[in-house]
Amino acid sequence: MVRLLAAALLIPTLVFSIYPFINHPPIFLYQNDSVYLSTSFSSPTWLKITLYKQGEVITLIDGTSSRHKVLIPFEGRLEYTITTESASWSGFLTVPSSDLKEFSILVYGDTRNDHAGIQKKIVRFGKNTDFLIHLGDIAFTGMSDDEWIYFFDAMNEFGKVIFTVRGNHEIPGLRYSMYLYPNQYTFRIGDFRFIVLDSFDLVNTLKVKLRDFVQKYGSEKTSKILLIHVPVFTCGKYRNDPQRLLFEDLHPLIRDLGIKLVLSSHDHNYQRIERDGVTYLVFGGGGAPLYRVEKNCKGLIKSFEGHSFSIFHFSKKDLEVDVYDIEGGVIDHFWIHF
């Protein structure tokens, strides 16, 4: 028993010596129905956060620490400034709430190491959106400090609330959960409930979790949108991959639960696929090496084999989707009525 206890006490020390906290600029996350500012420094650093809302000036924090996680205790849209000893940031922040009837989201995935800087081009193009969703493969390896720092710099430049999905390259997953989100979670914006599942679970486990999420929030009368890194359907490189094919078994449940939209990445291209009234979108063109798309593929409506991203415009129960190449050219445009 003593040996087991000693080993248990040693685990946190080993974890944080192998995976020390990465120094990163401020980013905004959404956890437990609240927005938090998260940042980390190599040594104790002074930080001040000031909010401006309806003519009122609120100082949230004015203190020194090496790691800061600060609750933003407001809803709606507000202006902020963040100041440290060596830098400052400012911007406008939208806090997710059920009262939002119109909002926009920047959506993309598979940036990985992205030496060409494509992610930052995407972020700059989508600067005026309210939120950002990254659909996974944030880094080429979950152990690379440089790739995580590049991601944090891009998210800091975006300067608003971000949501993420764990990809197959966030391995081992400890850093992902340390800095970002649980492997599966859910959040609500306006009349939409977003459900994030983990591609590393067995398909039967995913079915149980998906059904449980939908049942748990069934009474709130929201439209459900599923986010999962590995696509249920794809016409790209992983079309006939045995492991990926297992995910197709999710489709009957997705259809029967009334989910009309599923967002994924993993295949490095853009695809819009429709099956039984469900729209499956693949946004894997965020900066990783590109893959071909098989044009003669069941359900394929539109595809693009270049780097790309999308901006979602939500209005009550309608969604307008615009898909762009990294120069801002329109690849696809369509509506989904929930």
Complete domains list, the chain, with CATH: 22-95 (2.60.40), 98-337 (3.60.21.10)
Cα separation, 148 vs 137, whole angstroms: 11
Instruction: Report yes or no: 183 and 177 within 8 Å, Cβ to Cβ.
Output: yes
Place of tokens 């002074």: 46
What pLDDT was estimated at residue 218? 86
Q: Which two tokens stand for residue 161?
A: 């609330």
Helix (H) or strand (E) holding 96: none
The pTM assigned to this predicted structure is 0.92
What pLDDT was estimated at residue 143? 74
What pLDDT was estimated at residue 213? 94
What pLDDT was estimated at residue 286? 96
Cα separation, 75 vs 68, whole angstroms: 21
- Nearest CA-CA partner of 169 in 254, 270, 67, 287: 287
What SS3 class is residue 52?
strand
What pLDDT was estimated at residue 10? 33
Q: Label residue 164 exposed, middle or buried (CB < 10 Å: 0-12, 13-18, 19+).
A: buried
What pLDDT was estimated at residue 142? 72
How far CA 164 is from CA of 5, 126, 179, in Å, comes to 35, 16, 11
Q: Each residue's pLDDT tens digit in the chain (338 positions)?
A: 333 333 333 333 333 334 456 788 899 999 888 999 999 888 888 999 999 988 889 999 899 988 888 999 888 899 999 999 888 999 999 999 999 999 999 999 999 877 678 999 999 999 999 999 999 999 887 777 777 888 999 999 999 999 999 999 987 667 888 889 999 999 999 999 999 999 999 999 999 999 999 999 988 989 999 999 999 999 999 999 999 999 999 999 999 999 999 999 999 999 999 999 999 999 999 999 999 999 999 999 999 999 999 999 999 899 999 999 999 999 999 999 99
Sign of the C-alpha dihedral computed for residues 11, 17, 19 and 23 taken in this order: positive
Q: Which two tokens stand for residue 249?
A: 């078994």
* 170 beta partners: none
- Nearest CA-CA partner of 311 in 93, 108, 95: 108
Cβ neighbours of 110 (radius 10 Å): 30
Bridging pattern class, strands 270-275 and 300-304: antiparallel
What SS3 class is residue 216?
helix
Cα separation, 142 vs 213, whole angstroms: 28
What SS3 class is residue 234?
coil
